[in-house]
A and B are shown apart, each in its own frame.
Chain A
């Protein structure tokens, strides 16, 4: 299985080279060709999750004295499935989407390699191979983000992205430095065998949290994400949000649950609170952002926060020896990662389809697309329902599992954790509710109502490749939502390996019910809920049509008797966000609204202006950037000294060294 997946990754890398030689020609066939290795790798991952033996492989590459180690165990396999599915869907989508790319030479050559690099990251079994793949992944995705490099915001986004990626990589390098010690044996096998002190383990975990968290979009290292994800070509955005953030989560799991000794319990509150805080912060921003892809990117931050919260819970339970609860929390985290891959890719593809059809990504230029692009609109409805955690779709299933694991917290022995966990759960509940609000806004303004621009009014449905890819993902959302057992049972080997426990087999439960612990604790049967709703809805419709009337008449909108013809009188992105901005934005976004109301009799229009701040950007990022610039400016004086002063520097260094020496001697 490992050989197959390694070959798939290699095939993708070679496909990149081929594309580079073709220089942007043959984009369609290349995207189509990229589907196969993704499916193969995903299949190999499924095979390992289904019980195929763990494979290991050493290639004479990379760090010379240890070679490049590859290994496909259950954790890698799960994420390989994720990459494979997401990659295959994105590639299928790109067959259609790529046709409209203005400069394919800037996208096609990097795309298969990006997929391949992500596969190698999860396959790598030594620090060097891991980091090379990790950085190549960052680098290629950066190149993809820079595809539309003419716009200044794209360049700014790319810059911030790669600098943050470099910072993350440095943190990972430091972590691996601590892991491997001075011996120079960077293979994971040797690292597993070595003993690490508690202090070292905590330091490593913190560094990996920075390294992986900055890639996943964990606050306060998240700011690059909405910028970069929203400007990339849409199939790349889908991959970056849907899949690459998961690769980052893999990195965190791999190190904290595999390479170091179990962490002490007191590290988990930090993780839980960071995760929950990230979730709320991300989704509040999603509620006020006005571009489709930016909203989706902020929502990615929210979901990553949810996943990290669940991981933190798993860690807390594992530290207390509660293997079952830990398995529940970890299953929830992984399941949510899987689901997020499915619906976020779907949503980005839909946003891409809209962008393709209308050329707009601002909500204020969209509207009414449900008429012009019915299939896209339907598939997107599935996506927004899934991401808003509505039963019976998959988003709710994993959200439900997260809450179920929260409810296992009374078993924890530390009072601090007992208090923090429900508080974090409250934050997650807030985030979930805000997510629904954000996606009502997203879908309602984007697809419903009347078109707000000519482009939206003339949009055409996109081609069948894009629709097929979205339909596949929508089906995946439905499947994972209705039969979560299909995914959860595959997670058993992963949780067994990581926290030493696994959920009871879900497929064996009566009626395919989801019973994580016991029927008395809580159960949820999405299939039946779906059937009930469907039955109830159709029964209601039947009864109403039977007893009442079917008569329908079309007429102008009522609108309290004053229908307004201009589509601009509809609620827009800013106005829909206003209540929430008012309520939550005051502290989180330092929002200020300025109203300039002309006095009666004055004909000039009233003006309303919203001043909104990103406090993390202004309080943490800009000061650092300013400090660097200030230091650079003052250091720069040294470029303009006279030779005499340079000589004085030489003399000063000489004299000070001599003084040091004489004091030493």
Chain B
């Protein structure tokens, strides 16, 4: 593959994820609304929201520091770079080797780190509440995710996502208990990390139940737009990650022609739609849990991840 072409695909993918992310959020909201017998807003509503926010004046708290103002961009950038690393419709991206799965987890961690710091910056009670809960969730979710990464990497012999996807789409992997566990763990982590029901409620503004929203309470205008976009990107990232790992069908290989690329893109959009619908369906069928039930929910993921690694060795040595 030529250099220019590689850059092109890479750039295309980066733009694609940004472009699709609000759409996915909108889709989920829409389906949720329909399932609850509401009409719901258009799928495009998140785009409109973001555009509107961008044009609005920012109201900064008096004692907000530069960190508060820089954080939205950093959060967005980190999430975006992470999202760009996940193969969406094609593997063998030009810069896929810059970071692997572990780095991807860490990039998301960076975004969260800055978000939590920003939440503490103004010095309100809600900011601290959100940040402390978020970090508590993260301290369970991140190791769970890393353990699933280990399962995947041990099966595929690599932490490089392109390599992993190629390996998984090949015939050698087959069906494995460990991978199943890893998939469930990853889904749980995805729910928690994106602040979906039952862990958090993305649409709540009831103070005591919120986590993510509590952290961004002081943001407004373009800053809030960046954060909303980052949140949407994160959801997209997780869905694409789960899709490319556990449903690697249709992804264009390195060196495939434009037809394969087009098919890959189509398949990708399809997978997003399916993932979004599944999420929506799941969200309306469960109730939000109490805050201190969440750790055991995430602990379950952690256990699954650990069990996955253990079973991997047991089943292989048997």
A-side residues, CB < 8 A to B, are 367-368, 370-371, 381, 385, 388-391, 396, 399-400, 403-404, 406-407, 409-410, 415, 418-419, 422-423, 425-426, 429-430, 432-434, 436-437, 440-441, 443-445, 448-450, 511, 513, 519-525, 528-529, 532-538, 540-541, 544-545, 547-549, 551-560, 563-564, 567, 569-571, 575-580, 582-583
A368 near B132: Cβ-Cβ < 8 Å: no
Known: A426-B306, A570-B128, A579-B133. Contact between A525 and B99, CB under 8 A? yes
By DSSP majority rule, is chain A's interface helix, strand, loop, or mixed? Answer: helix
Residue-wise interface mask of B (54-89) relative to A, using a CB-CB cutoff of 8 A (1 in contact, 0 not): 111111111101110000011011101100100000
Distance to closest chain B CB from A662 (angstroms): 65
Is the Cβ of B80 less than 8 Å from the Cβ of A536? yes
Is B138 interfacial (CB-CB < 8 Å)? yes
Stretch at the interface among B35-43, B150-158, B276-284: B150-158
- Given A390-B109, A391-B99, A560-B217 in contact, is the A407-B125 Cβ separation under 8 Å? no
Cα-based distance from A578 to B138 in the complex (angstroms): 15
Tell me the B301-318 residues at the A interface (CB within 8 Å): 302, 305-306, 309-310, 312-314, 316-317
The 15 listed contacts between A and B (C-beta, < 8 Å) are: A436-B135, A449-B128, A521-B159, A523-B98, A525-B98, A532-B84, A532-B98, A533-B77, A549-B221, A553-B57, A553-B58, A560-B217, A564-B125, A571-B131, A577-B132
Chain A contacts for B132, CB-based, 8 A? 441, 571, 575-580
Q: State the CA gap A327–B210 with chains docked (Å).
A: 47
Answer whether A390 and B110 are a contact pair too, CB < 8 Å, given A419-B310, A553-B57: yes
* B131 contacts A444, C-beta separation under 8 Å: yes
Q: Is A423's CB under 8 angstroms from B54's CB?
A: no
B251 on the interface (CB 8 Å rule)? no
8 Å CB contact of B60 from A415, A450, A555, A559: A555
In the complex, how many angstroms separate the beta carbon of B173 from the nearest chain A beta carbon? 15
Q: Are B158 and A449 in contact (CB under 8 A)?
A: no
Of A381, A436, A549, the most chain B CB neighbours within 10 A belong to: A436
Question: CA of A538 to CA of B70 in the docked complex: distance in angstroms?
Answer: 10
Kindly state the separation between the CA atoms of A646 and B76 in the bound complex, as whole angstroms. Answer: 82
Known: A407-B154, A407-B159, A552-B60. A558 touches B99 (CB 8 A): no
- Does B238 sit within 8 A of A, measured CB to CB? no
Q: What would 20 more interface pairs be, CB under 8 Å, given A410-B316, A433-B140, A576-B131?
A: A370-B121, A396-B106, A404-B159, A422-B150, A429-B147, A520-B157, A520-B158, A528-B98, A529-B103, A532-B81, A548-B222, A552-B57, A552-B59, A555-B59, A555-B62, A557-B62, A559-B217, A571-B127, A577-B132, A583-B292
State whether B97 touches A519 (Cβ < 8 A). Answer: yes
Q: A418-B313, A560-B207 are known contacts. Are A547 and B54 too (CB-CB below 8 A)?
A: yes
Contact B65 A371 (CB under 8 A): yes
CB < 8 Å: which of A433, A528, A544, A575 contacts B95? A528
Whether B150 lies near A560 (C-beta < 8 A) is no
Q: Give Cα distance in the complex from A437 to B309, angstroms.
A: 25
| Interface check B203, CB cutoff 8 A | no
In the complex, what distance in Å separates the CA atom of A436 from the CA atom of B111? 11
A430 near B143: Cβ-Cβ < 8 Å = yes
A555 vs B160: C-alpha distance when bound (angstroms): 47
Query: Which of A443, A525, A548 is most buried by chain B, counting CB atoms within 10 A of its CB?
Result: A548
User: Which of B73, B126, B221, B309 meets A541, CB within 8 Å?
Assistant: B73
Task: Please measure, in the bound complex, the distance between the C-alpha atom of A520 and the C-alpha atom of B66, giving whole angstroms.
Answer: 40
Which residue of B126, B128, B309 contacts A422 across the interface (Cβ within 8 Å)? B309
CA–CA, A523 to B226, complex, Å? 29
Report whether A426 and B113 are in contact in the complex, using a CB–CB cutoff of 8 Å: no
Chain A positions within 8 Å of B221 at CB level: 548-549, 551-552
Asked if B139 and A440 sit within 8 Å, CB to CB, the answer is no
The answer to whether residues A529 and B98 also contact, given A381-B67, A557-B61 and a CB cut-off of 8 A, is yes
**Residue ID in chain B nearest A401 by CB atoms:** B102
Would you give the shortest CB distance from B87 to chain A, in whole angstroms?
15
Contact B146 A559 (CB under 8 A): no
- Is B187 an interface position by the 8 A CB rule? no
Which residues from chain B contact A391 at a C-beta distance below 8 Å? 99, 103, 106-107, 110
Out of B53, B63, B74, B292, name the residue touching A582 (CB < 8 Å). Answer: B292
**Cβ contact within 8 Å between A559 and B99:** no
Is A523 a contact partner of B120 (Cβ separation < 8 A)?
Answer: no
B228 within 8 A of A: no
**6 shortest A-B CB distances, which residue pairs?**
A571-B128, A548-B54, A449-B123, A444-B120, A537-B77, A429-B143
Whether the pair B54, A407 counts as a contact (CB closer than 8 A) is no
CA distance A547 to B222 in the complex (A): 10
Chain B, Cβ-Cβ closest to A572: B128
* Alpha-carbon distance between A371 and B66 when the two chains are bound, in angstroms: 9
- Assembly CA distance A444 to B314 (angstroms): 44
Whether the pair B295, A583 counts as a contact (CB closer than 8 A) is yes
Contacting residues, chain A, for B125 (C-beta < 8 A): 559, 564, 569-571
B200 contacts the other chain (CB 8 A): no
Given the contacts A429-B146, A449-B122, A553-B57, A422 and B131 also touching, CB distance less than 8 Å: no
How far, in whole Å, are A559 and B159 apart by their CA atoms in the complex? 42
Say whether A579 contacts B120, CB under 8 Å: no
A557 to chain B, nearest CB (A): 4
